[in-house]
Amino acid sequence: MFRKILIANRGEIAVRVIRACRALGVTSAAVYSEADAQALHARLADEAYPCGPAPARASYLDAERMLEIARACGADALHPGYGFLSENGAFAERCEAAGVRFIGPPGDVIRAMGDKLAARRLMMQAGIPVVPGSAEPITPQSALGLAEPLGFPLLVKAAAGGGGRGMRRVDDGAALLGAIERGAREAASAFGVGAVYLEKLLANPRHIEVQILADRHGKTLQLFERECSIQRRHQKLLEEAPASRIDAELRQQLGRAALGAARAAGYVSAGTCEFLVDRDDRFYFLEMNTRIQVEHAVTEAVTGVDLVEHMIRIAAGEPLGLAQEDLQLRGHAIEARIYAEDPARKFLPSPGALRVFRPPEGPGIRVDAGVVEGDRVTVHYDALLAKLIAWAPDRPRAIERLRGALDAFAIEGVASSLAFHRRAVRAPSFLAGRYDTGFVEDLMARGGTAEDTDGD
């Protein structure tokens, strides 16, 4: 096992990794920007080191600075968390070359899965269905000839990166060239790569993902699915496990596809295969996230498996001490991502001081927070404050626990997404488990009508 792990991240995921280090008896070393000098993760870690000015590009995204700190503090491993440098294949390889074990998949796997076109080709070779689309980057000259056989509506998508950046919906040929130009500019700005491609737009699909674990000894496991369809601007707001409308046969098919994808990629560590499921329960590979996911906690709740601890053990060379038949679903878990954002203003960030921050407690309730009362939310980073997870033996009771916990959660000083979540978990479509990726748009369009809050 490692002696010391440098956590190249901040906020709730840094706190989560610190707690996993404590459970394993490993020294945790945090990094903090000038804006985060008093942040919770910097206070909780065994050691903490400054990594630069407030802007992420000058601190948490500074690969050379992270390696300097790792070498200077004697860390023999580095956990990248999610975001920032977590899906940077070159950084993973630089860590390994410097004698610092990167807690994640190999750099070549990160690169292969980060290139969405390369990942699509690999999945097709492995016999895994993908959303119909172009096989190569498109140009304004080639676009229309590719678009017409696919049929509108379409998506222009960035070949690199994620989070919806570089993505544009196209409803007809007249809008295609402009969408390509805008998407390519945004992709180049966000990821340094302006390549885009076309993909058929599925009508209101469900966004389902499957958690995997793979060790360095050839064992790969799938830990069932999560429902992640409640999202705005392609960023998730609420997730649950298992998905409410996945029968045993489809669950097995998704699990087999995720295992096939991981093996085709030569995957090692924790990762996630994301799929779109259409109205006829046909599923299509979307992408593979080569890192721990924000929503990993719901899988932990229903399987009893500590995914972060297993990531560390796998990186240290330990074999997985689990077999596929050991893994069983236990009950139901739902996670609400609590952001410092104002739902009434299209989820605009809401920086400021947390005058009150009192998370709920109780049976089946877990809160993974990156802040405490009195902390300041800055404009420099993601606005996620905490993840509220409710577990119960079945979905109705998990919803009941989550509703009670959301009502008890007290936040003052900044606007938060609590009001949205309180409405969302009372919406009839959510209560029935019959929702898709159009849920947020539909809910917000209805405003504060009684329809949003019936089913109490």
* pLDDT tens across the length of the chain (456 residues): 999 999 999 999 999 999 999 999 999 999 999 999 999 999 999 999 999 999 999 999 999 999 999 999 999 999 999 999 999 999 999 999 999 999 999 999 999 998 889 999 999 999 999 999 998 999 888 988 999 999 999 999 998 877 678 899 999 999 999 999 999 999 888 788 889 999 999 988 999 999 999 999 999 999 999 999 999 887 899 999 999 899 999 999 999 999 999 999 999 999 999 999 999 999 999 999 999 999 999 999 999 999 999 999 999 999 999 999 999 999 999 999 999 999 999 999 999 999 999 999 999 999 999 999 999 999 999 999 999 999 999 999 999 999 999 999 999 999 999 999 999 999 999 999 999 999 999 998 887 433 333 333
What residue spans in the chain does CATH classification 3.30.1490.20 cover? Answer: 132-200
Q: Two tokens at 79?
A: 């956990």
Q: Which of 16, 226, 291, 401 is catalytic?
A: 291
CA distances from 331 to 87, 334, 337 (A): 32, 11, 20
CATH 3.40.50.20 fits 4-103, yes or no: yes
Query: Residue 403: its pLDDT value, please?
Result: 98
Residue corresponding to tokens 């919406």 = 427
Structural contact between residues 39 and 113, judged by C-beta atoms closer than 8 angstroms: no
DSSP conformational letter for 130 = B
Q: What is the C-alpha separation between 70 and 170, in angstroms, rounded?
A: 45
Grouping H, G, I as helix, E, B as strand and the rest as coil, residue 203 is coil
Burial of 48 (0-12, 13-18, 19+ CB in 10 A): buried
CA torsion sign, 217 to 67 to 291 to 199?
Answer: negative
Grouping H, G, I as helix, E, B as strand and the rest as coil, residue 143 is helix
Structural contact between residues 301 and 207, judged by C-beta atoms closer than 8 angstroms: no
Residues 6+ apart with CB under 8 A from 447: none
Grouping H, G, I as helix, E, B as strand and the rest as coil, residue 194 is coil
**CATH classification (class only), 132-200:** alpha beta
Q: What is the C-alpha separation between 85 and 193, in angstroms, rounded?
A: 16
Longest dimension (CA), the chain: 60
Structural contact between residues 103 and 80, judged by C-beta atoms closer than 8 angstroms: yes
Structural contact between residues 215 and 144, judged by C-beta atoms closer than 8 angstroms: no
Beta bridge partners of 154: 170, 200
Q: What is the C-alpha separation between 397 and 403, in angstroms, rounded?
A: 10
Say whether 291 is catalytic: yes
Q: What is the C-alpha separation between 119 and 135, in angstroms, rounded?
A: 10
For the chain, state the CA radius of gyration. 21
Q: Give the closest residue to 186 by CA, choosing from 162, 218, 222.
A: 162
Identify the H or E element spanning 405.
helix 395-408
Query: Residue 456: its pLDDT value, please?
Result: 32
Give the pairing type, strands 101-102 and 77-79: parallel
Q: Can you count the helices (H) and strands (E) in the chain?
A: 15, 22
What residue spans in the chain does CATH classification 3.40.50.20 cover? Answer: 4-103
CATH number listed for the domain at residues 206-452: 3.30.470.20
Q: What is the C-alpha separation between 417 and 419, in angstroms, rounded?
A: 6
Residue corresponding to tokens 């509220």 = 388
Long-range residue pairs from 230-236, CB within 8 A, at least 24 positions apart, any chain: 230/424, 230/430, 230/435, 230/439, 230/440, 231/207, 231/437, 231/440, 232/347, 232/440, 232/441, 233/164, 233/347, 234/162, 234/163, 234/164, 234/167, 235/163, 235/164, 236/207, 236/294, 236/295, 236/337
Q: What is the C-alpha separation between 178 and 136, in angstroms, rounded?
A: 19
CA distances from 174 to 87, 171, 254, 379 (A): 35, 8, 37, 37
CA distances from 311 to 24, 144, 355, 387, 449 (A): 12, 44, 36, 20, 45
- Taking CA 113 as the corner, what is the angle to CA 111 and CA 118, rounded to the nearest 5 degrees? 90
Beta bridge partners of 281: none
Grouping H, G, I as helix, E, B as strand and the rest as coil, residue 162 is coil
Give the pairing type, strands 352-353 and 376-377: antiparallel
Structural contact between residues 184 and 137, judged by C-beta atoms closer than 8 angstroms: no
Query: Residue 188: its pLDDT value, please?
Result: 87
Structural contact between residues 155 and 170, judged by C-beta atoms closer than 8 angstroms: yes
Query: Residue 233: its pLDDT value, please?
Result: 80
